[in-house]
Amino acid sequence: MRIGVYICHCGLNIAGVVDIETLLKQVESLDDVVVASDIQFMCSDSGQEKITKDIEEHDVERVLVAACTPKLHETTFRNVLEKSGINPFLLEIVNIREQCSWVHMENPRMATQKAFDLIKMGVAKLRFLKPLKIQSTPVSKEVLVIGGGVAGIEAALNLADTGYKVHMIEKEPTIGGKMALLNEVFPTNDCSICVLAPKMTEVVNHPDIELHTLSEITAIEGSVGNFEVTGITQPRYVSEEKCKGCVDECSRVCPVEIPSRFDSGLGKSRAINIPIPQAVPQVAYIDGDYCVGCGLCAQACPADAVEFEQQTTQFQLNVGAIIIATGYRLFDASRKEEYGYGIYPDVMTNMELERLLNASGPTRGRVTCPSTGEVAEEVAFIQCVGSRDESVGNPYCSRVCCMSAMKNAQLLKERYPDIRITIHYIDIRASGEMYEEYYTKTQAMGVDFVRGRVAEIVQEHDASLSLRYENTLESRIEEKQYDLVILSTGMEADPSAKPIGSMLKMAKRPDRFFAVSHPKMKPVDSHINGVFLAGCASGPKEIQVSIAQGSAAASRAIRLLHPGELRTDPLSAHVDYDTCIGCGVCTDVCDYGTIKIENGKAFVDEVSCHGCGTCSAACPVDAISMHNHTDEQVRAQIKAALEVKDEFPLIVAFLCNWCSYASADLAGTSRIQYPTNVRIIKVMCAGRVDPDFVMEAFEMGADGIFVAGCRLGECHYVHGNYHAQTRMENLGETLSKEGFDSGRLRVEWISAAEGEKFASTIEDFVDYLKAIGPIGSELEEADR
Angstrom CA distances, 325 to 154, 172, 281, stand at 10, 14, 19
Are 221 and 144 within 8 A, CB to CB? no
pLDDT of residue 783: 62
For 162-176, 253-267, 434-448, 707-721, which range has the lowest pLDDT when averaged over its residues?
707-721
**pTM reported for the whole predicted model:** 0.79
Confidence of residue 134 (pLDDT cuts 50, 70, 90): confident
Query: Distance (Å, rounded) from C-alpha 33 to C-alpha 3?
Result: 5
pLDDT of residue 781: 65
- Residue 654 CB: number of other CB atoms within 10 A? 28
Query: Distance (Å, rounded) from C-alpha 493 to C-alpha 512?
Result: 6
Are 116 and 23 within 8 A, CB to CB? yes
Angstrom CA distances, 294 to 110, 248, 254, stand at 92, 17, 8
Query: Distance (Å, rounded) from C-alpha 775 to C-alpha 784?
Result: 15
Confidence of residue 690 (pLDDT cuts 50, 70, 90): very high
Q: What angle do CA 118, 120, 123 make, to 5 degrees?
A: 110
Q: HEC profile for 584-630?
A: CHHHHHCCCCCEEEECCEEEECCCCCCCCCHHHHHCCCCCEEECCCC
- Expressed in percent and rounded to 5, the helix, strand and coil fractions of the chain are 35, 25, 40
Per the omega criterion (within 30 degrees of 0), is the bond before 70 cis? no
Helices (H), 276-341: 296-300
Confidence of residue 572 (pLDDT cuts 50, 70, 90): confident
Domains of the chain, each with CATH number or no CATH:
1-132 (3.40.50), 137-234+312-327+494-567 (3.50.50.60), 235-310 (3.30.70.20), 330-492 (3.50.50.60), 568-624 (3.30.70.20), 628-784 (3.40.50)
3-state SS, residue 421: strand
Are 360 and 368 within 8 A, CB to CB? no
pLDDT of residue 223: 85
Measured distance between the N- and C-terminal CA atoms of the chain, rounded to whole angstroms: 41
pLDDT of residue 10: 93
3-state SS, residue 655: strand
Nearest to 110 by CA among 9, 22, 31, 24: 22
Amino acid at 648: F
Helix (H), strand (E) at residue 218: strand 215-223
3-state SS, residue 321: strand
Amino acid at 238: V
Which residues lie across from 673 on neighbouring strands?
A: none
Helix (H), strand (E) at residue 457: strand 454-458
- Residue 363 CB: number of other CB atoms within 10 A? 15
Angle between helices 631-642 and 108-126 (to 10 degrees): 150
Phi then psi for 230, rounded to 5 degrees? -120, 140
Are 720 and 686 within 8 A, CB to CB? yes
Q: What is the pLDDT of residues 46-93, one digit of tens each?
A: 999 999 999 999 999 999 999 999 988 998 999 999 999 999 999 999
Per-residue pLDDT at 778 exceeds 90: no
Confidence of residue 636 (pLDDT cuts 50, 70, 90): very high
Nearest to 537 by CA among 566, 516, 564: 516
Amino acid at 397: C
Residues in the chain: 784
User: In the predicted model, what is the mean pLDDT of the chain?
Assistant: 94
Q: Please spell the DSSP secondary structure of 523-576, one letter per residue.
A: TTB-SSTTEEE-GGGGS---HHHHHHHHHHHHHHHHHHHTTSEEEPPTT-EEE-
Angstrom CA distances, 657 to 69, 455, 588, 660, 753, stand at 11, 49, 23, 7, 13
Amino acid at 695: M
pLDDT of residue 299: 96
Confidence of residue 519 (pLDDT cuts 50, 70, 90): confident
Are 730 and 745 within 8 A, CB to CB? no
Per the omega criterion (within 30 degrees of 0), is the bond before 281 cis? yes
* Share of residues in the chain with pLDDT > 70 (%): 99
- Residue 54 CB: number of other CB atoms within 10 A? 19
pLDDT of residue 76: 93
Which residues lie across from 91 on neighbouring strands?
A: 63
